[in-house]
Chains A and B, each alone.
Chain A
């Protein structure tokens, strides 16, 4: 059977069926539609004002590659300037290759690139060193907890370094759906109460963050990268397979197979969750050590580093938190965050 003609331009042969709508489209029309939808999200959600200097969290993976490419195409319309910020976590054999992909993209698209390294920011700690340090303390699943918290901080530092006014990250709808599933399974009411939006407006001195791809499913992101012939690095982090997120990811894949709209249905649920005011975290203050946004005396990044430096890496995670609370008498206890492999 010959491929049908594109439902949009009616001239070219269709190359794909859109996962979202089932429409048969040609590659060019699909990419145009995808870009138009991201533009619409940014405008309707008022995510990036005119004149914004935008730091794109670039990991070299598909999401951030697509995000950078789309925003570069939309930059004249949005009147924004872009700056890639990559984080070197210091994971041997994994990060070097990913960073090479980012350097390649930056050169090809003529975008300025800044790389910030954990090693420089956090007193010599690389992820490999953290992994060695936590390995002896039982479950090593907490690697992603460290990496996620530290990466968030590193990105913030990098964005400030380049004078950015906004940070964008490549989270897509699947990431959001996984997160809401995971937060329920972990009982993290605080995060459920805060989550759901397209970003955070920036408070307590933190830069505003947003996720322009949040309404695009992972499948569409991959298709876009395919038809725009984008080169990206697609290998799982060496520490990732042990993360709890894997369960949620696996479930999401099955749900999507049973009902294609499941990903966006979960995003809709996340947007609409209503939690009791008591479940909301207290108004955040500032970290007593670094001045960053913190819900306790120390921000999570400083607390984790503190634990590492004292040779008690699990001090700020899970049950270890209790000991920390005895020391500092902070306000509440939250399980630490798992992290995404992308920003």
Chain B
């Protein structure tokens, strides 16, 4: 019945948060709201949870972020303005502090977005308890004069980055997305840029958590999609409850126990407001992208075998974030420029799927040199001119070209996506600048290596890259059966 369904639904949401104990009382949490059913339902849950008068009241401080992706999805300026007005009226009614940002703002992001903060998120049980205690104390002190609504500390209402996008930015964004050859790569690029933008908003406004409304259904589809995109190493990051890859800002997915069907029922029964905005794949045929194919496949299989989604979802919970054993990659190892995960590429010529595609065997057969290798369109030198070392570094960087420079800093999956961009020059400047910075650092590293004092720990041994082909032998020592079980 209606009431039991509501109780169950609310319980699932709160249990997910309670079980994981990741969100501290008084913490600022940014709700990523797309206007769609799941994220709308999530915002609604938080709204109800905060207004509750019981001890069970949620105790974090929420804000909402909405990213206007109209330019990437081919919406006309008039439609965008209309959507935005709708968005604002919904946000006004909710009453949380809110931020609306246009995707165009990625062209104004600083490279620092891509520099993962070294700060470890505090997440221990003791830390959580002490945070609860100090919060309760604080509440007690303030109790007399302040209302019990923590979010009144921030004035409800717009605190957006404010600027509406300039026409040049919109044109640049359209050009970038139009240049991408496949819908698959477009979707991935959009996700990447959106994540960076939300991350930036969170950092600027001091939010330490971001909540996304991914439902169980969506996560099962995402898992299978990412599997097919070569992101096998990162499935636990991409679909788990919490995602700490950014260090200071943690992404959490509290709706991951709700199926899309439950969300739809709830939203309908309790009149949760949501808005429809065309997505990048709206109206695209099913076979247009990996994302669409996988979505259609999973939903169709679900009708035949009703346990499909829950099976995939439960399997995903057995995945771990640490790299597979025998794959050395410490937390300090290089991170992918775009998705910020630890690089998962094998050595060229190794007996792996990556090695098979990079092997010299197929390269030497190439008669035409890769077009991008010759271009020297790198952005200007950032450091002072005149120093021999710097000039050499710049020459090196220029010689390699933007394409190669960016590519070698990407994980397997992001490399495959970026191959669908004819030119990486149209990427937002913060990505190119960070790529150049990293390239230069890599180049300078050998020069200064001998002067660096190394902390001789066991870490150094862990970091040793395994020789190609040593995998079978390592696993032999572990005594594991590596067969695929056919």
Contacts and interface: CB of A to CB of B under 8 A. Distances in A.
A164 interface: no
Interface in A277-319: 278-281, 283-284, 293
Contacts of B236: 274
Contacts of A225: none
Contacts of A85: none
A203 B362 contact: no
Contacts of A36: 361
Contacts of A148: 486
Interface in B212-254: 223-224, 226-233, 235-236
B305 to A, nearest CB: 8
A279 B324 CA distance: 13
Given A46-B473, A186-B311, A337-B485, A273 B319 contact: yes
B325 to A, nearest CB: 8
Contact of B356 (A41, A43, A293): A41
A29 B362 CA distance: 11
A201 B486 contact: no
Contact of A44 (B350, B412, B475): B350
A283 B479 contact: yes
B320 A191 contact: no
A42 B471 CA distance: 13
Nearest to B352: A271
B289 A258 contact: yes
B61 to A, nearest CB: 34
A40 B297 contact: no
B365 A8 contact: yes
A202 to B, nearest CB: 8
Given A185-B308, A187-B315, A255-B293, A268 B230 contact: yes
B227 A194 contact: no
Given A40-B359, A265-B413, A33 B365 contact: yes
Contacts of A325: none
A36 to B, nearest CB: 5
A189 interface: yes
A191 B485 contact: yes
A275 B315 CA distance: 9
A175 B484 CA distance: 10
A266 B230 contact: yes
B416 interface: yes
B244 to A, nearest CB: 16
A46 B472 contact: yes
A3 interface: no
B482 A197 contact: yes
A226 interface: no
Contacts of B226: 269
A268 B472 contact: no
Nearest to B349: A44
Contacts of B367: 7-8, 10
A148 B484 CA distance: 13
Interface string B463-481: 0000011111101100111
Contacts of B235: 269, 273
A interface, size bucket? 35 or more
B184 A45 contact: no
B353 A264 contact: yes
Given A203-B479, A258-B184, A264 B351 contact: no
Contact of A258 (B230, B293, B344, B469): B293
Contact of A271 (B229, B322, B353): B353
B312 interface: yes
A268 B314 contact: no
A279 B468 CA distance: 27
Contacts of A257: 287
B227 A269 contact: yes
A200 B483 contact: yes
Contact of B351 (A10, A40, A268, A280): A40
A200 B101 CA distance: 52
Interface in B355-373: 355-357, 359, 361-362, 365-368
A191 B484 contact: yes
B56 interface: no
A188 to B, nearest CB: 8
A134 interface: no
Interface stretch (A60-68, A176-184, A232-240): A176-184
A339 interface: yes
Contacts of A274: 233, 236, 319-325
Contacts of A152: 486
Nearest to A39: B361
A29 B365 CA distance: 9
A159 interface: no
Interface in B291-336: 293-294, 297, 301, 308, 311-312, 314-315, 318-325, 327
Interface string A1-44: 00000011010000000001101010001000100110011011
Contacts of B482: 194-197, 199-201
Chain A CB within 10 Å, residue with most, of B294, B327, B481: B481
B232 A199 contact: no
B288 interface: yes
Contacts of B324: 196, 271-274
Given A179-B486, A195-B485, A273-B324, A268 B301 contact: no
B228 A269 contact: yes
Given A254-B287, A268-B232, A269-B227, A261 B357 contact: yes
A195 B484 contact: yes
A33 B297 contact: no
Contacts of B128: none
A255 B472 contact: no
A108 B325 CA distance: 45
7 contacts: A40-B349, A171-B486, A187-B311, A199-B482, A258-B182, A273-B319, A276-B318
Q: Can you list the 7 inter-chain pairs with the closest CB atoms, starting with the nearest?
A: A269-B232, A45-B351, A265-B230, A272-B233, A197-B482, A44-B351, A195-B484
Given A187-B311, A196-B324, 9 more contacts: A45-B351, A148-B486, A181-B227, A183-B485, A269-B233, A269-B235, A271-B324, A274-B319, A274-B323
Interface of A: 7-8, 10, 20-21, 23, 25, 29, 33, 36-37, 40-41, 43-47, 148, 152, 169, 171, 173, 175-176, 179-181, 183-192, 194-201, 203, 209, 215, 247, 251, 254-255, 257-259, 261-262, 264-276, 278-281, 283-284, 293, 337, 339-340, 343
